[in-house]
Amino acid sequence: MQTWQQLDQAYIMSTVSRYPIAIGKAEGNYLYDTEGKRYLDLFTGLAVNTLGHSHPRILEALEEQGRRFLHISNLFLNPPAIRLAERLVKHTFGQGKVYFSNSGAEATEAAVKLVHKWIQREQHGRQGIVVLKNSFHGRTLGALRLTRQPGVYQDFPQPDFPVFEVEPNQIDSLMEVCRTHRPAAILVEPILGAGGVVSLERAYLETIEQLCKEEQMLFLVDEIQTGIGRTGKLFAYQHFALSPDVILFAKGIGGGLPLGGLIASAHVADLFQPGDHGTTFAPSPLSAALGNAVLDVLLEDGLLEQGRQVADALWEELHRLQQAHPRVFKGVDGRGMMLGIRTHLSAEQVKRLQSELLEAGILVNVTAKTVVRLLPPLTLTRAEVTFFIETLERLITQMEPAWEVN
């Protein structure tokens, strides 16, 4: 009899390197493989399962909306989506509108078209979008043009609109590019996720906002990974009291189902007209109902504050671990429940550490080859923090003597 791994390799295109476990069920903060082994999930489907797995409020919304209707197309008024859009606008700009998509990459595609419509309206001769080196905004062709990782964009065909790449947190080069090339917009992740969990500094973000005002550019924040409570606020830009023009969101908003989109501030909210953009499935009534359940738990049931407190404990323990093992750990970057543990290890050594954690029943992600990325659920407990830290320290203590570190 063939294994799940063999069947996967035989029938599914190999676009992802999968972990060697087949998932049988998920509950709380844990995944269980088909053999019954339990794994503490510290990257939650790449920042999707903000409330963990099978949260009661999610299951309740799933059943209630499932009994009503699953799909109606976007040609009808959709009460769950309308309610979700209203809440997203009120918790961000106060006034504005939402465009719903099925994913983060589709949100980026919509943003490219929105910038184009804005260029047409303003007639100021500006062209192109500024993005950051090592940023990640999706894999579809338009989004790929903005993703600045050679291993991702490779030699695929690229749409013909100008893109200007700048280094994160380097204000002088940003200002030079904006004043020399006169781009129409700047798009940034407040914390680069796939680029190695790199936080943008307050001064850099404030400079972007000021430049956009002075130079008449649009300021777009990609909150696809940083949003929906992951960093301790609903969106990461809110830590800095910024005023972007457009917010991209996805991942955690759908409660485990596909959902993404844009929140546009009032002055760009009416750029799209009927026929300018659209999709068959979004906004999914089911995904929108789950999105409302996610916001209920975060904003009304207190999980946002609970997650902040546990995240503080996790950060404290990781800083202690760094001080105890300076040959292994460089430091920790990120915010809240989005953490990048920087190491002095080689890519092979980090892969081995990840495999040892997997064997010990803990799932972590690796990004930028040598950064251990944690994207835990906001339902993480202090006991689970202790379990992770003690396991990580035990493995490091066992493995460190044999490692040559940079």
Which pLDDT tens digit goes with each residue over 212-241? 999 999 999 999 999 999 999 999 999 999
User: In angstroms, rounded to a whole number, what is the distance separating the alpha carbons of residues 189 and 227?
Assistant: 10
What the block records as the tokens of 336 is 């809240």
> What is the reported pLDDT for 153?
63
**Contacts by 204-207, CB closer than 8 A, 24 or more apart:** 204/168, 204/169, 204/170, 204/171, 204/174, 205/237, 205/240, 205/242, 206/240, 206/242, 207/171, 207/174, 207/175
Which stretches of the chain drop beneath a pLDDT of 50?
none
Q: How many angstroms separate the first and last alpha carbons of the chain?
A: 45
- Residue 4: Cβ-neighbour burial (10 angstroms; 0-12, 13-18, 19+): middle
Note whether 363 and 40 are within 8 A (CB).
Answer: yes
Going from N- to C-terminal start, the domains of the chain cover: 4-52+303-402, 56-300
Structure confidence at residue 155 (pLDDT): 73
For 56-300, CATH number? 3.40.640.10
- What gap in Å lies between CA 256 and CA 52, rounded to an integer? 9
Residue 342's contacts (CB-CB under 8 Å, 6 or more residues apart) are 196, 329, 330, 331, 332, 333, 370, 371
Q: What are phi and psi of 237, to 5 degrees?
A: -60, -25
CATH topology for 4-52+303-402?
A: Aspartate Aminotransferase, domain 1 (3.90.1150)
Distances (CA, A) of 190 to 100, 224, 358: 21, 10, 29
Q: What is the pTM of this model?
A: 0.94
